[in-house]
Structure 1
Amino acid sequence: MNGLFRYFALCCAVVILVSCGWVEVPSEGTGTSRYKSSSTVSQNRSNQRQIPGTVLVQKGDTVYGISRKHGVSVRSIIDANNLKAPFHLNKGQRLRLPQGPVHVVQRGDTLYSVSRQYRTDVYTLAKNNQLKSPYTLHAGQRLKLPGGAQKKPTVRNARTSYTVQRKPTTSGLSPRVNAQPSYKPTTVAKAKPRISRKSIPKPPPRSGSRFSWPTQGKVISRFGVKRDGLRNDGINISAKRGSAVMAAENGVVAYSGNELRGFGNMLLIKHSGGWITAYAHNEKILVKRGQKVKRGQTIASVGSSGGVTKPQLHFEIRRGMNPVNPKKYLGS
């Protein structure tokens, strides 16, 4: 009889505790138990759930780190959340993420074709959208674009692949990944630079059928598609910083500048027969647009400008708009 009474009393106590809204929740990292209100637990879960357009600050997060992770600028995060210097963040703080430009995927789009439209690179698009190889896209999918990305206008020119205008060009180069995928912040391209056929001299005749090597060093990135689905339109040659970069053939400098994202200080040299060679990541450029150069002439010095961290030369050979494997056209 006494045992039955104790059992009944225990059941009543449990019912009373449950009706009061208390549950037993283990405390973090101790293995012991601590009592918390069920309403508090619900509130914590509500705070931790994902809310579109926001991010919940974790321990160790910084404004810069969040901007890199989500592909938005530091300034836009500061402005959107009215943050004040020195911009310290607290764990559990919720930040609004500014909605940057997006591209709605159309039928037939590829990550590469989208990168071409917005003058960015495949690596940045894949990273901003957390895409994995083989980077398959679906119609209607929304791709976050890097801050400052602008759609490249459609250009028509019946006589040549390059548009005639007074400003210099990098339109002969596709903004694809051109080196090892170790990127650092670079300046976003401004107005579209273009080659002007009217304002540069006619290229001199070539000295031979093959091009010469532009610098001495080890090839660290070969032409073509990589394992992760990215593509190199040329080759990358590791060399000592400051080493001479030489013209691969007689020609005329069609572009000298650093407007194209990821390529740093770059030269385009136009050769007779519709050939173009490109030299990127230079430390210094020693020739000007419109200047005629000879095969083997020093035109720049090896550096690590643009989207690379180690001294190297990104070198391309193009026939018109089409990149070709430089090793097939370089002399021994």
Structure 2
Amino acid sequence: MIKRLACVSLVALVAACGSAPVGPGFYRVERGDTLSKIARSHRQSVQSIARWNNLTNPDSIEVGQVLRVQPPNGAAATSGAVRTNGTGSATASAGSAAGSSAGSASSRSAAADNAPSAPASSISLVWPTSGSVIRGFDGANSKGIDIAAPAGTPVVAAAAGTVVYAGNGLRGYGNLLILKHNAEYLTAYAHNRALFVKEGETVAQGQKIAEMGDTDTNRVMLHFELRYQGRSIDPSRALPPR
């Protein structure tokens, strides 16, 4: 398995681990997808999909990320389509013309509230280890947080779940564990000195799963990631205050 995964990115691996079916009106990003390609295939505009998913950069989608591709709460897309009302007269769908309600602040707020990038507070986590946070989440260069402590410091499961990956086949992550907590959330623990659980094992929240190390990095630390529907989100939003 290690050889087979040697050239696979963590994004792709997390996507594979969290590939539960998505509901109607949503689409899971696949390798080679672009937002314009997804928009065309679902007969929507790039602007609509970006707005429904609160995407500030349309080029920032990731493999495994789940996107809303149908209007939330019955709101119409900005496609210019028309519909008939109960009397049979034609009315323009919301958002089909400039100045429509779809472009209003309230509609943008509703779209953001219904975007698949749910708040991290919807999962309850414990800190995966002790130590100091030396690097925070930025969503671009850092998909998680880095926590520094002495070698051998215990690493625990941030939430109960199942081990879906345990190994060192991904360059840049060293000895890595990925836990699946439910159909939407996964956590990843990188650079460990030793792993104490195997793939397929069920773990409890707070259970020791590894020891901190410096595998495939230049200092002792834990790189910790939280993924929601395949998309990296800031773990500090779900972790309790220290």
CA–CA distance in 2 between the matches of 1:272 and 1:158?
A: 9
Matches within 5 A, 1:138-149: none
CA–CA distance in 2 between the matches of 1:268 and 1:162?
A: 20
How far 1:247 moved relative to its partner? 0.1
Q: 1:172 to 1:290 in 2, by over 3 A?
A: farther
* One-letter amino acid of the structure 1 residue matched with residue 205 of structure 2: R
Report the counterpart of residue 36 of structure 2 in structure 1. Answer: none
Equivalent residue in structure 2 for 1:322, among 224, 231, 240: 231
Equivalent residue in structure 2 for 1:271, among 162, 177, 181: 181
- Give the superposed CA RMSD: 3.0
How far 1:209 moved relative to its partner? 3.9
* One-letter amino acid of the structure 1 residue matched with residue 214 of structure 2: S
Report the counterpart of residue 297 of structure 1 in structure 2. Answer: 207
Is 1:285–2:147 an aligned residue pair?
no
| 2:236 alignment partner, SS class | helix
Equivalent residue in structure 2 for 1:224, among 120, 138, 144: 138
Equivalent residue in structure 1 for 2:124, among 206, 210, 221: 210
Question: What is the TM-score with the length of structure 1 in the denominator?
Answer: 0.37
* One-letter amino acid of the structure 2 residue matched with residue 264 of structure 1: G
How far 1:324 moved relative to its partner? 0.4
Equivalent residue in structure 1 for 2:21, among 156, 159, 166: 159
Q: What's the CA shift string for 1:141-167, capped at 9, x where partnerless?
A: xxxxxxxxxxx9xx9x7826699xxxx
CA–CA distance in 1 between the matches of 2:207 and 2:29?
A: 25
* One-letter amino acid of the structure 2 residue matched with residue 288 of structure 1: K
* One-letter amino acid of the structure 2 residue matched with residue 252 of structure 1: T
The structure whose Rg is larger is: 1
Q: 1:209 to 1:321 in 2, by over 3 A?
A: closer
CA–CA distance in 2 between the matches of 1:264 and 1:296?
A: 22
CA–CA distance in 2 between the matches of 1:277 and 1:172?
A: 14
Residues matched between the structures, number: 136
Q: What's the CA shift string for 1:113-164, capped at 9, x where partnerless?
A: xxxxx7579xxxxxxxxxxxxxxxxxxxxxxxxxxxxxx9xx9x7826699x
Aligned partners of 2:20 and 2:183 also within 8 Å:
no
| 1:232 alignment partner, SS class | coil
| 1:231 alignment partner, SS class | coil
Q: What's the CA shift string for 1:213-262, capped at 9, x where partnerless?
A: 0000011111016xxxx610000000110010000001000000111110
Is 1:331–2:193 an aligned residue pair?
no
* Misfit runs of 4+, over 3 Å: 118-121, 160-163
Report the counterpart of residue 151 of structure 2 in structure 1. Answer: 241
Report the counterpart of residue 220 of structure 2 in structure 1. Answer: 311
Is 1:251–2:113 an aligned residue pair?
no
Q: What's the CA shift string for 1:157-186, capped at 9, x where partnerless?
A: 7826699xxxxxxx879xxxxxxxxxxxxx
Unpaired runs of 5+ in structure 1?
Answer: 1-117, 122-151, 164-170, 174-207
Structure showing greater relative contact order (alpha-carbon pairs closer than 8 Å, 6 or more residues apart): 2
Q: What's the CA shift string for 1:68-104, capped at 9, x where partnerless?
A: xxxxxxxxxxxxxxxxxxxxxxxxxxxxxxxxxxxxx
CA–CA distance in 1 between the matches of 2:152 and 2:143?
A: 24
Q: 1:250 to 1:120 in 2, by over 3 A?
A: closer
CA–CA distance in 2 between the matches of 1:234 and 1:260?
A: 16
